[in-house]
Structure 1
Amino acid sequence: MTAEPKWEDVSLEGAFDLHVHAGPDTRPRWYSALEMAERARNAGMSGFVLKNHNWETATLAAEVRDRFPDLLVVGGIVLNRATGGFDPSRVMQALAAGGRLVWLPTVNGCGECEHLSRAGALPVVDEQGEIVAPLRRIFHAIASADAVLATGHISAAEVPVVLRTARQDGVRRFVLNHPEIPFLQFPIELQADVQGMGAIIEHCYPRPESTSGFNGIAAETRAIGIRSVVLATDLGRPDLPDPFEGFKRFIAAMTSRGFTAAEISAMTRDTPLRLVNETEHPRPD
């Protein structure tokens, strides 16, 4: 392991954060979406994806783009109860408004709810091991828009069923969200399986309670291969670093673990931009 550069000296020039939380929201956030955009522009970033557990962000992203046309600000919808659950019409509205990502349930995901012993889960797979019927219509809508399907906080058992079925329904763009997060902790074998099915693995800034931390993320990234990995932050909570400091700390940590500037750029700029860009194929040739 090489010496870790000072995080303050890390450049975010060209970087694109695939996973960030900003206000307005039902919980405190470091910045509003407009403040995020201003800071991202000042940092020289390409843009970011706005995620919210409680309402769609496609329209908010469009408003931010109007104010900051030099940034690519992307939104979508999370299929939680607060957003209508598995209501295809809600998804189609978000996609029609320019949304590029559809996340499966997060706060209502089986992975999170089972880990926290919390009620309110929305299973994506039925008792027969098949995708619940309304999701098939949603998969077709995602495919028609060539948008991104992200796994959210569903369980490990649900992930392969989702990817196999969504591929059959025409979806081409997939993200396995933060497999390192403590309430999911997806094994490397599962990550390799979904990578083989075309998914991009999204690693996010590790939480304080993470058991693997940067070392685990670095090892899993090498095992999967940088061409199939994105580094993002999933930041916005005021009890964690702000998204810009966190992104810089993440890059500094990965640099000290042997990743080159070109590899970092691929994971923080090239791959996430290709993933959300509807004019490009989600995976390199």
Structure 2
Amino acid sequence: MLRKRLIGTILVKDNVAVQSYGFRRYTPIGSPVICAEYLDAWGADEIALLDISASKSRSGPNLEMISKVAAKSRVPLMVGGGISTMKEVHDTVEAGADKIAMNTAFIRQPELLREASENYGAQCIIASLDAIRTSDGYSLYRDDEGRDIVTAAKLAEELGAGEILLNSVDQDGSLEGYALDLISKVNRAVNVPLIALGGAGAPLHFEEILNEPNVAAAAGNYFQHFEHSIAVLKHHLGTKGFPIRQKSGLEYMNVSHTLDGRLKRTPEQLLLTQMYEPLHQ
């Protein structure tokens, strides 16, 4: 049985890692390099580095940042943002990317996806699709043609995408769960693996999405809220029977979790907290 994947997402705006809320508000976190170092240490199966300002500024991929992040990532690194030519695809791979994610390029110049897939292999090329809810389903976000998300996903597969990163604009930053109807609809329509992104806020949300066949779970805000979040989540999913790679060197066999995925405090820890709380009042 294939193991389920958890993918840590680093969203970058103006060279700073940020948390995103509905594609409208952004809270700075800090260095993308440090984020990658922690995600790798906590046990992410893959890391996605997505630069949301590179395409808008037409500055191209930040190769220096990509190289530094790649140096901290011992797992496959997906990179997206600002890639609009085959030379930029090549330079991004040379900088350390294992996979290339195309979002704006897929909308504006879909043949680049086909050319990249033919040159580097489908396993290297990801179609990054942002979906927004409409009155009758989901459409591709910021697409002048107003294409239905299923139509866009089928085209991405036809052009040679080896995977589809499917992000829900409506769920982004909500911590209320993935858009299960969206993921299920697209998953039934294509044969390539999906990566679900947008809305994760508790272990239950990961259980729900990983029950979908051929789907990996990506998260940004959730994995950056507290330490060891990926390793703790992996232990939880393991107890639920999901085939998943555990983080070696970290032991959680005798602990329990809160509903949002944090470790529950022991009575001794609670006592220490009560002892020290007056000092901060």
Category of TM-score, reference length = shorter chain = 0.3 to 0.5
Higher relative contact order (CA 8 A, sep 6+): 1
Q: Which has the higher strand share?
A: 2
Query: Please, what TM-score do these two structures have when normalized by structure 1?
Result: 0.47
